[in-house]
Structure 1
């Protein structure tokens, strides 16, 4: 699959109404579009949809988009859109699109969660807009009709067996790919990064904007880069937050493989936290010395491989791979360290019954599993050789035992239908209006991958490196100096003249 860590792990339905079928297009006016000459621009019918805890005045609408942009007047999908208008019309300079991570993340949900902080930071400079990509949240969904056992996070992701064996992974991956081919149909096949970029441009035209500004996050940075490549004259101020390597020969496969080193880069932050004397009063100190936390974790995971421990969730024991996945989830943010430390202690205590996090206690919905899987498989061809993957897993387990071979293992993408079109190559062609912001120790989008995105963009971009750990920087895990720099760029157009660093 991909590095779709937390956003795709925590999917819930958005505030918009769920649509699961093809729809007819809404009333529209005619306009030209680069991908579909003569295509229609849909009219958006906004309605109030504010939620408790979300931004005041939030509105929702539905955007019809072609199932296939080669047939713009053919079957349509329906996408959920949300908007928060500028509260200072005189200060408004345009529209800022929030592009979610994933694949599988909801733009509607992300705007609801980040809207209050973003609205405060923007001080009325923008209308704030979010879009649920195809297959997610309130947009048209698809189903693979997978068995529940194949939809647990530790089975949907290809964690090898306790001894590193991958035959079970290969059989499951083939089964998932075949089920998606039988049941997903044309809708599932349309879940691609380039279609998300096309859908964003259709949204731009529906909003009546000549240009969009954007805050793209995680996988969304690749979506944002593809949009900027395909529609450069329609980009205004463009922020890529937590980027990965855009190599068009690998994309999702490369992102997943890079998490071996990304986890190694980030784990020392957790180890230092878990050995800090401050944890003593919290009852969460795992070791007296930082260097002892890693062997403790690896030994415990290996023991759980051999002897899974019954949890408070009937029929779902704490296994070595569930513990490893819990760590993967927690490395996103320091705020999640405590939950994983507590799980480790429960696993060590013979009298305790581990309490699994919600993301590990049960299967994902079939629609969420389909959305997580389809985009990365549809974007680029993945290799399928079981012997080659077996060798890669053995080597990766030896070099990076924290991830136990997962990042290079076989996935459903190896048995997927061939991509309908090649991935977009990201280049330096286009305006210099991109600010990249990146934590130094990001477990999901490692720094070395972000440097490759930076090189691909050339003079179009500047990179702000934050001496910090975690995934997602702006208004999230990054230091205040990063927030100030991104806010100044979006609101005043002030971008660092050269690549720069802050925090520490």
Structure 2
């Protein structure tokens, strides 16, 4: 599997309250960087990047401490990539492409989504990609999970049909034990704070005084944490599809956000799935789609349909619910959910979906587990999850209690090594948030909490669009133009804006 293919696999995984803020940040706020920064990295051809790699893309490896509390101790490798600025005379610095996840990579992004950036942005920045700590081809971790535990409907903790969570707690213990047994010392040092420290080591190795960044999804939290830890090392920061920065819950808040994210997005799917002329139409009216899916999931809870080649090898209610969640990430995935609903109603299944190679799934699952579980302590008592699941099921039946359930972090054997970073309004005002109004994974409600935490340091662009990832992906021309202008010139809206 080439790195380009691997990165493609990893990515496959209400109106805002608008307030007036500071005037635009101008381009003169930070002096331009020299055309050639002094770098300690040895750049060379990229191996295993596949035919889709831009021939200009270069790769390098950087050694960083595994444990920043022991900087002279064991080191790990970070795999880096770059495409230099296209106009050296206009070069401003380096634009870090911070991936989602945890478990996402941007190693192929300078050749991929980086080339969607307008020329005036590409002229000004070296585009920097990387595989975060723990993720191959950086020094990698692996929990050695059982094959069945790699199913998306297991990694996301769906309760039993009656709402009980005994099986989820048992699964959490089994998976956490595997990570403790097989993850080695590195899995204890996966965290967002360490990801931010790694980025600052990359900055220093590049010879840059300051960096700009485009962080997406989980990358918005990494970018916000970096911005908090190293405020004067930042130039222009774009945070796209934003995570709730709640320091008491961290990833628990992200998981819980799915219940509102589904409520925000499902009506858009229902309108599509009931539109006349749609070959995958499932109902005559949008109002029929929700009860139809709920009835179908309940029937599959009672009577699963065998599904050879899938994981698990049956179409049950949780697999349907997980397919719903996955399909709401972007409208281009709506047909997969509609086709599965139509097949299940007929008592059949479509061909089993293609699965990434198991070593990739193992690696991604381990990075996700280590980072999510090390960032903050999760409750250990089943009673805490039982109460939350019951409340969630009653209020949000589409997600059936999953967003507040116990994932493997409920049994994680290692206490956090440090408190989560609290995002505040202290520091330079150089952040632009861009957020779709309907985003199943990082809903607007959570993004507004990051916006509130950043205060006068940020301006937010809310986009009337549907899908996860806004800028140059599933947003609109108004949002894209606003972000591109900020990256290219430093011009930022004087206040929060709504892009219709």
TM-score, structure 1 normalization: 0.88
Range that drifts further, 111-120 or 360-369:
360-369
1:403 is aligned to 2:399: yes
Deviation, 1:119, is: 5.9
1:55 is aligned to 2:54: yes
Please give the secondary structure, in 2, of the residue aligned with 1:80.
strand
CA distance in 2, matches of 1:241, 1:399: 28
Selected match of 2:460 from 459, 463, 468: 463
1:349 is aligned to 2:343: no
Contact persistence 1:42–1:63 (CA under 8 A): no
Aligned to 1:382: 378
Aligned to 2:303: 307
1:393 is aligned to 2:389: yes
Deviation, 1:303, is: 1.0
CA distance in 2, matches of 1:204, 1:347: 51
Aligned to 2:172: 173
Range that drifts further, 118-127 or 63-72:
118-127
Aligned to 1:204: 203
Contact persistence 1:287–1:293 (CA under 8 A): yes
Deviation, 1:160, is: 1.1
CA distance in 1, matches of 2:11, 2:480: 27
Deviations 1:465-491, CA, capped at 9 Å, x for gaps: 101111110011001111111000000
Matches for 1:85-484 after TM superposition, within 5 Å = 85-118=84-117, 120=119, 122-279=121-278, 283-313=279-309, 316-350=313-347, 352-359=348-355, 365-416=361-412, 417-484=414-481
Alpha-carbon distance change, 403 to 111 in structure 1, aligned in 2, over 3 angstroms: farther
* Structure 2 alignment gaps of length 5 or more: 1-5, 13-37
Range that drifts further, 493-502 or 112-121:
112-121
Count of aligned pairs between the two proteins? 466
1:486 is aligned to 2:487: no
CA distance in 1, matches of 2:387, 2:70: 44
Alpha-carbon distance change, 108 to 9 in structure 1, aligned in 2, over 3 angstroms: closer
CA distance in 1, matches of 2:141, 2:418: 20
Deviations 1:94-118, CA, capped at 9 Å, x for gaps: 1100000000000213444312212
Alpha-carbon distance change, 233 to 205 in structure 1, aligned in 2, over 3 angstroms: same
CA distance in 1, matches of 2:356, 2:56: 35
Please give the secondary structure, in 1, of the residue aligned with 2:314.
coil
Deviation, 1:327, is: 1.1
Range that drifts further, 433-442 or 136-145:
136-145
Contact persistence 1:9–1:359 (CA under 8 A): no
* Structure 1 alignment gaps of length 5 or more: 1-6, 14-40
CA distance in 1, matches of 2:394, 2:359: 30
Contact persistence 1:108–1:132 (CA under 8 A): yes
* Aligned-residue RMSD, C-alpha: 2.1
CA distance in 1, matches of 2:355, 2:454: 35
Alpha-carbon distance change, 360 to 89 in structure 1, aligned in 2, over 3 angstroms: closer
